[in-house]
């Protein structure tokens, strides 16, 4: 199987859930038998990237980076902001003029926002991977109606062009299929590298809570701003509780939260030492969609997890069996105090959670699901709808 894989970002270094997901799926595909031949074309990150500890060709058959460029006026006027932010004239020119389509059997679009760059008459079957449902995400963030309308139009175009869509969880599959009755969403959940993330060396510090995530991502910022007052309420009852915020590119809003039992560790090269010393990972997301990689990695490392229902979406985890579910923000203080007073229950759940992650969220198995989605698309190429 020969696949042209198109991504709006280079899936390394691994400092965001989306990059980790794409990298681990490609890593798993490179080790399947037979191995798909994947040609990866990405839009270049304008920030300088550190030297890689591996050659891209060890991950994929071929790799091509396309520089970002200013989007043309019509695209800026009619597209959601991310389509403009990740614009590359080089990639658009490649797809519309230079691509030798006979080199591939299939096109994989690794984000909806790259759809405008495909030629209107694509000669190959198409699979579209939704890291999150962008329309739902925009609505949850309260973005302007004009932006939501642009996402709605882009989603409609995507579902007109192909019935083959990959999503991160059952909930997203149900939402997308409810809006577009003819499509067939396939679920490829998020996972963890259960060899890299393990219980070796785990020594939790009493009362230490950990928040992991990209610190310039609006849902994470809102989650932190909502959680911190609940943490202070819990600290008024038990001062042993304290929070470590760990993540890349901290927004000034994060800096404003630091102090009084809250510390920031920005841009760390490896999150595993923080998982080893945390009493629990807290995931207070109220706006969801996309990757839940950190929950899987925490449980794989034997770190207990306290999570909102939104943060748990898309994962085959059971509340009260694999992690502690916090159904409303007002429940956080009691749950945090209970955790620090008697951590044994949460620790036992984390070990059960690790076994569930090993069984249901192991990246090589999830990569095999993606390969199966590609195979299904090739077996039913006529199900690709005519382009608009």
Residue-wise pLDDT tens digits, 17-32 = 899 999 999 999 998 8
Which pLDDT band, with edges at 50, 70 and 90, does 388 fall under?
Answer: very low
Which pLDDT band, with edges at 50, 70 and 90, does 385 fall under?
Answer: very low
CATH number, domain 2-191+363-383, options 3.40.50.300, 3.30.465.10, 3.40.50.2000, 3.30.360.10: 3.40.50.2000
Say if 2-191+363-383 and 208-360 have the same CATH topology. yes
Task: Tell me which of 29-33, 43-47, 128-132 is least confident.
Answer: 43-47
User: How many other β-carbons are positioned within 10 Å of the β-carbon of residue 323?
Assistant: 28
From residue 77, alpha-carbon distances to 8, 29, 82 in Å are: 20, 38, 12
CA 25 to centroid of chain Cα atoms: 12
CATH architecture classification, 208-360: 3-Layer(aba) Sandwich (3.40)
What is the chain's alpha carbon radius of gyration, rounded to the nearest angstrom?
Answer: 21
CA distance 29 to 36: 7
CB 281 within 8 A of CB 303: yes
pLDDT at 124 over 70: yes
Q: Which tops the pLDDT comparison, 13 or 300?
A: 300
Strand stretches in the chain, DSSP E: 2-7, 37-43, 62-66, 106-109, 126-129, 164-167, 184-187, 208-212, 242-247, 262-266, 280-283, 305-307, 324-325
- Number of alpha helices (DSSP H) and beta strands (DSSP E) in the chain: 15, 13
Q: Residue 298 burial by CB count (10 A; 0-12/13-18/19+): exposed, middle or buried?
A: buried
Q: Spell out the domain ranges in the chain.
A: 2-191+363-383, 208-360
Strands 37-43 and 62-66: parallel
From residue 252, alpha-carbon distances to 29, 85, 231, 266 in Å are: 38, 21, 20, 12
Q: 283 - beta bridge partners?
A: 307
User: How many other β-carbons are positioned within 10 Å of the β-carbon of residue 204?
Assistant: 19
pLDDT more than 90, % of the chain: 86
Q: Residue 367 burial by CB count (10 A; 0-12/13-18/19+): exposed, middle or buried?
A: buried
Phi, psi of 218 (to 5 degrees): -55, -45
Q: Which residues contact 2 (CB under 8 A, 6 or more apart)?
A: 36, 37, 39, 61, 103, 104, 105, 106
CB 383 within 8 A of CB 185: no
CA distance 165 to 188: 10
Mean per-residue pLDDT, 259-272 = 95
Give the tens place of pLDDT for each residue, 267-307.
Answer: 999 999 999 999 999 999 998 765 689 999 999 999 999 99
CB 361 within 8 A of CB 369: no
pLDDT of residue 289: 61
pLDDT of residue 55: 83
pLDDT at 57 over 90: no
Give the tens place of pLDDT for each residue, 194-244.
Answer: 999 999 999 999 999 999 999 999 999 999 999 999 999 999 999 999 999
Q: Which residues contact 9 (CB under 8 A, 6 or more apart)?
A: 18, 19, 22, 42, 43, 45, 86
Which pLDDT band, with edges at 50, 70 and 90, does 51 fall under?
Answer: low
pLDDT of residue 49: 66
pLDDT of residue 2: 97
Q: Using omega within 30 degrees of 0 as the cis cutoff, is the peptide bond preceding 34 cis?
A: yes
Average pLDDT, the chain: 93
CA distance 85 to 77: 13
Give the tens place of pLDDT for each residue, 203-214.
Answer: 999 999 999 999
Which pLDDT band, with edges at 50, 70 and 90, does 387 fall under?
Answer: very low
pLDDT of residue 386: 34
From residue 276, alpha-carbon distances to 131, 174, 298, 373 in Å are: 28, 36, 9, 36
């Amino acid at each position: 199987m020969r696949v042209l894989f198109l991504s709006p970002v280079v899936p390394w270094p691994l400092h965001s859930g989306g990059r980790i997901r794409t990298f681990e799926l490609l890593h798993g595909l490179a080790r399947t038998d037979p191995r798909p031949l994947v040609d990866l074309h990405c839009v270049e990150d304008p920030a300088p990237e550190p030297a890689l500890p591996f050659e891209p060709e060890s991950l994929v058959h071929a790799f091509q980076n396309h520089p970002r460029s200013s989007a043309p006026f019509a695209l800026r006027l009619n597209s959601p902001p991310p389509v403009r932010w990740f614009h590359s004239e080089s990639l658009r020119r490649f797809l519309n003029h230079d691509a030798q389509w006979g080199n591939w059997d299939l096109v994989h679009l690794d984000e909806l926002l790259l759809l405008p760059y495909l030629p209107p008459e694509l000669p190959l079957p198409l699979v579209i991977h939704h890291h999150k449902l962008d329309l739902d995400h925009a609505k949850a963030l309260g973005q302007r109606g004009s932006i939501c309308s642009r996402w709605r139009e882009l989603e409609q175009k995507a579902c007109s062009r192909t019935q083959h869509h990959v999503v991160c969880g059952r909930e997203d599959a149900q939402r997308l299929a409810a809006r577009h009755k003819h499509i067939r969403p396939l679920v490829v959940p998020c996972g963890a590298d259960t060899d890299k993330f393990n219980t070796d060396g785990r020594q939790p510090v009493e009362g230490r809570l950990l928040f992991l995530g990209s610190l310039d991502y609006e849902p994470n910022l809102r989650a932190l701003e909502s959680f911190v007052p609940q943490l202070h309420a819990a600290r008024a009852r038990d001062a042993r509780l304290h929070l470590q915020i760990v993540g890349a590119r901290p927004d000034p809003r994060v800096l404003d939260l630091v102090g009084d039992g809250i510390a920031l560790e920005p841009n760390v090269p490896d999150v595993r030492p923080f998982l080893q010393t945390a009493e629990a990972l807290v995931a207070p997301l109220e706006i969801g969609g996309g990757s839940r990689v950190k929950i899987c990695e925490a449980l794989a490392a034997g770190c207990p997890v306290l999570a909102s229902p939104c943060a748990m979406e898309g994962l085959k985890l059971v509340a009260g069996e694999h992690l502690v579910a916090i159904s409303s923000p007002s429940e956080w203080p009691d749950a945090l105090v209970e955790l620090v007073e008697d951590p044994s229950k949460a620790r036992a759940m984390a070990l059960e959670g690790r076994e569930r992650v090993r069984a249901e969220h192991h990246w090589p198995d999830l990569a095999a699901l993606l390969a199966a989605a590609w195979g299904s698309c090739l077996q039913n190429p006529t199900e690709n709808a005519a382009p608009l």
